[in-house]
């Protein structure tokens, strides 16, 4: 890692500076840059909701059964029967995601790495999340470890949030929006900051995590509009229920005919008055 990057992060954040000193200067893990995004995203689909050992076993069976010893191409994935992919260990949902990824790769929705390098982070996220089963977090991992983007902060990542809680001595996990607001000070090297937050969990397990240099208070962020929308919907539902109840009570109070039907109450017209007697 560049000494310039570490110096910038240390000046911007005293707690992160202590974590950097404890971890030391190490080379960040990186994947092969010439690997096609199709392969990276297919591997990410295999790893979803599984530990690394189980996912790697599934990928090995996929290579042996569909790729003839090499990672299968999109054409091979589309030609593979569902039964073969199921035998490799993929669920039906993951098979659908793999097939969709293969189709979108052939349609150039998922381009090669050289093309992606010309796009911004948000453009890449918007394009690749069109694939079934691929979310923002998966694309952020591709940005960090394959494309080498320096300013990615995966605020929804459990390890990053847990590492922040441990390093900063917090009682609770930070909310993603609060973590994003705090991470503004790490720009334009938030990928490196995230890497050190992952290392914080390793130090915590080893009992060598340093005490935070200072106590912090995360910035307050506005609550999601979705919660306000839920309250509005619930309020409208209660009002509708009350109106329905009032109509039901009013309907039960109406006089009924001999056949059981409710008599319609029409507004009575003006009554005719008898002429006054002349005296």
pLDDT at 265 over 90: no
Tell me the average pLDDT of the chain: 86
Q: Where do the domains of the chain lie? A: 1-24+150-242, 37-145
**Catalytic residue flag (residue 156):** no
pLDDT at 106 over 90: yes
| Residue 188: cis peptide before it, omega within 30 degrees of 0 | yes
pLDDT at 184 over 60: yes
Cα dihedral: 131, 135, 138, 140 (round 10): 110
Q: How far apart are CA 180 and CA 184, in angstroms?
A: 7
Using CA atoms, how far residue 97 sits from 38, 92, 214, 262, in Å, is 12, 9, 45, 57
pLDDT at 240: 76
pLDDT at 263 over 70: no
What CATH number labels 37-145? Answer: 1.10.340.30
| pLDDT > 70 in the chain, percent | 82
pLDDT at 31: 57
pLDDT at 191: 97
Q: How far apart are CA 150 and CA 191, in angstroms?
A: 5
- Over residues 75-96, the pLDDT tens digits come to 999 999 999 999 999 999 999 9
For residues 102 and 75, the answer to whether their CB atoms sit within 8 Å is yes
**230 vs 60 pLDDT, higher one:** 60
Same fold, 1-24+150-242 and 37-145: no
pTM: 0.74
Topology given in CATH for the domain delimited by 1-24+150-242: Endonuclease Iii, domain 2 (1.10.1670)
| pLDDT > 90 in the chain, percent | 68
Question: Which candidate in 64, 100, 151, 157 is catalytic?
Answer: 157
Q: How far apart are CA 9 and CA 66, in angstroms?
A: 45
Give the rounded distance of the alpha carbon of 155 from its chain centre: 9
């Amino acid at each position: 890692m560049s000494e310039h990057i570490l110096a910038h992060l240390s000046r911007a954040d005293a707690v992160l500076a202590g974590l950097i000193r404890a971890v030391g200067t190490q080379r960040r893990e990186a994947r092969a840059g010439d690997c096609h995004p199709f392969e990276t995203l297919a591997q990410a689909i295999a790893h979803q909701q599984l530990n690394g050992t189980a996912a790697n076993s599934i990928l090995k069976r996929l290579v042996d059964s569909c790729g003839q010893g090499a990672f299968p191409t999109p054409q091979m994935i589309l030609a593979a029967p569902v039964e073969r992919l199921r035998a490799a260990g993929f669920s039906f949902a993951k098979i659908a995601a793999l097939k969709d990824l293969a189709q979108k790769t052939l349609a150039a929705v998922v381009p090669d790495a050289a093309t992606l390098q010309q796009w911004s982070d948000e453009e890449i996220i918007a394009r690749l999340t069109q694939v079934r089963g691929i979310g923002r977090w998966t694309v952020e991992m591709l940005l960090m470890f394959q494309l080498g983007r320096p300013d990615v902060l995966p605020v929804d990542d459990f390890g990053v949030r847990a590492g922040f809680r441990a390093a900063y001595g917090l009682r609770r996990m930070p909310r993603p929006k609060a973590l994003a607001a705090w991470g503004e000070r790490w720009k334009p090297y938030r990928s490196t900051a995230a890497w050190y937050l992952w290392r914080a969990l390793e130090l915590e397990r080893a009992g060598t995590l340093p005490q935070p240099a200072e106590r912090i208070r995360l910035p307050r962020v506005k609550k999601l509009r979705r919660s306000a929308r839920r309250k509005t919907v619930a309020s409208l539902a209660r009002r509708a229920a009350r109106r329905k109840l009032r109509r039901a009570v009013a309907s039960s109070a109406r006089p009924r005919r001999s056949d059981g039907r409710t008599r319609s109450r029409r507004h009575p017209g003006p009554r005719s008055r008898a002429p006054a007697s002349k005296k």
